[in-house]
Homo-oligomer: A and B are copies of this chain.
């Protein structure tokens, strides 16, 4: 039985100014990729082996079990189906939906660490086992007491030359490994980050290959205490774990020695560069920018479709209730995040391609590009995950009461995606890393050095206001100029602030701390400038179909203008923009939103998420929201019986006692 599409949604799709398929092709890199993505997604979504009850109806234990089963099955099927490594993520994301994967750290961190940090001998020993899932591993870095600050790790690996072993210990409570995914119940191995000690001297954190559970019966090995860290906001399907080690001995050969080495006599060989680990970090952060784009794309798809199905209130007496999306306030909530989803989608692509290009340079030993890449990726990771956090919640709230139901998919999306602001470097720390690079570059430019890359604009820019000009606030060039000016000015202001604090007698660390709010502000402005500029540049691609370049330009304008009016003080403070400019910008936003309104559904359809991935009754492609809300509710555990058992246990005696007393 073909489902009938809600007439309001059908009309939206008929009235769009462009064919969403063209934007889908643009977003995924061409029709062949889209074809492949769809093939693999339907393969996964139509496979009955993956079907199960709604996660929202399960206890956390059941959720863990269900997803473990699913993940193991997926692993086996990917091999059986011989899915290409390049395409694998299309299949994976369709199997798991917006939930994380219990084997995610095996695939995403354990294996890559072996690839990147094991010697050939070590690879020969472990890779085959790990790639074929004879052993399952995770990456145990974060401790109860230390996260982003790696040097603070307390776990120790002490070299014992007599036995040619490292002795692993968790010397304090706070040294317990805490958070690694899959550590609690699933993994039997891990890469352990521990402070290396040789002959009483500390050499900083290094990676060690450690078996934690028996391969026979999965019991923790002697000296190993391991378990689940308990329920969290989201990630219910994942056994984030803790791990404490007591005099656990591993052979010397278990230290991953591709970069640093410890010789049998205890001689320590330094890595050729301390920045080599940066490469992976840049990659992971680019992934988080992609995740943020995806989170916003999913959230706006749900909220915009539902806002076309939902009719509410009376705009004009006697008229039918309008679609909620016809309210300008609703557009103002959703369209800026729709634009941000596109902006970050393109940012993530650029970051990945810059990373790929520079990877070959790095592998040839040229690491000159790394500090720049590192600084840029830190700021973009922080910016995108912050905006995604706000956007997901704005979308949920824009769906009113039903957004609060797990039927909307939005609470679970938020709970699963919000850690992006914390993991792989806490966002404020990330912004301060970007700021450090900006300050360094700014000072170099003051000393006459010519800057390159993303900070080139700091060279020779005099942050003086150019008042009196009239601007076309829709011109992307003018908007990029405004964001560049703001970034340059705020970098300058932060540098001045830093200097003032120094001159007032503070030492460098205290001055840095005192200026840190300004420094974060500068790094934020720098990152936003990059995103706006990147969006505008992607639109100059001559291969872009004219029917979609018009609508994408509107999104880009909206993204820039919304950033401008929500931070208008930054542009007004030195008179770069005038009050008239800002008022103009607000009027343009209204006009742009009116123009985007008829294309809104097509713009989210273009993200091409099947219902099985959206996991949302409100966001269903067919818009048949209300009947499915009721069906879903009826299936929920509390409705298994008309009269719940709690009546007999508690309510009945209570009511009867009260009646008797009357």
Contact present for A231 and B636 (CB under 8 Å): yes
A60 within 8 A of B: yes
A313 at the interface (CB under 8 A from B): yes
Verify A64–B638 contact, CB threshold 8 A: yes
Complex Cα gap A136–B520 (Å): 54
Residue from B520, B570, B638 in contact with A61 in the complex, judged by beta carbons closer than 8 Å: B638
**Bound-state Cα–Cα, A659 to B130, Å:** 11
Whether the pair A134, B56 counts as a contact (CB closer than 8 A) is no
Question: In the complex, what distance in Å separates the CA atom of A603 from the CA atom of B487?
Answer: 36
- Asked if A144 and B65 sit within 8 Å, CB to CB, the answer is no
Please give the distance in Å from A196's CB to the nearest CB on chain B: 19
Q: Which residues of B lie under 8 Å from residue A174 when comparing CB positions?
A: 626
Which residue of chain B lies nearest to A634 when distances are taken between CB atoms in the complex? B227
**Residues A176 and B630 in contact in the complex (CB < 8 Å), given A400-B426, A405-B229, A422-B404:** yes
A20 vs chain B, min Cβ distance (A): 27
Query: Assuming the A-B contacts A329-B432, A639-B227, A655-B133, are A69 and B572 also in contact, with contact meaning beta carbons closer than 8 angstroms in the complex?
Result: no
Considering only CB atoms and an 8 Å cut-off, how many residues of chain A contact the other chain?
Answer: 143
A633 proximity list for chain B (CB < 8 A): 227-230, 242
Q: How far is the CB of A333 from chain B (nearest CB, A)?
A: 8
Complex Cα distance, B513 from A328, in Å, reads 6
Closest residue of B by beta carbon distance from A639: B227
With contacts A590-B514, A636-B230, A638-B185 taken as known, whether A144 is within 8 angstroms of B630 at the C-beta atoms is yes
CB A421 to nearest CB in B, in angstroms, measures 6
Q: Is the CB of B219 within 8 A of A642?
A: yes
**Proximity string of chain A (610-648) to chain B, C-beta cutoff 8 Å, 1 when within and 0 when not:** 000000000000000011011011111111001111110
Residues of A in contact with B (beta carbons under 8 Å apart): 56-61, 64-65, 68-69, 72, 75-76, 128-129, 132-134, 136, 142, 144-149, 151-152, 173-174, 176, 178-179, 184-186, 188, 215, 217-220, 227-234, 239, 242, 311-316, 321, 326-330, 332-333, 389, 393, 396-397, 400-401, 403-407, 411, 415, 418-419, 421-423, 426-429, 432, 507, 509-510, 513-514, 516-518, 520, 565, 567-575, 579, 582-583, 586, 589-590, 626-627, 629-630, 632-639, 642-647, 649-652, 654-655, 657-659, 661-662
In the complex, besides A134-B658, A234-B404, 18 extra interface pairs with C-beta distance below 8 angstroms are: A133-B655, A136-B651, A149-B321, A185-B647, A220-B642, A227-B634, A228-B633, A230-B406, A233-B405, A233-B411, A315-B510, A397-B418, A401-B423, A514-B590, A568-B568, A568-B572, A568-B573, A569-B569
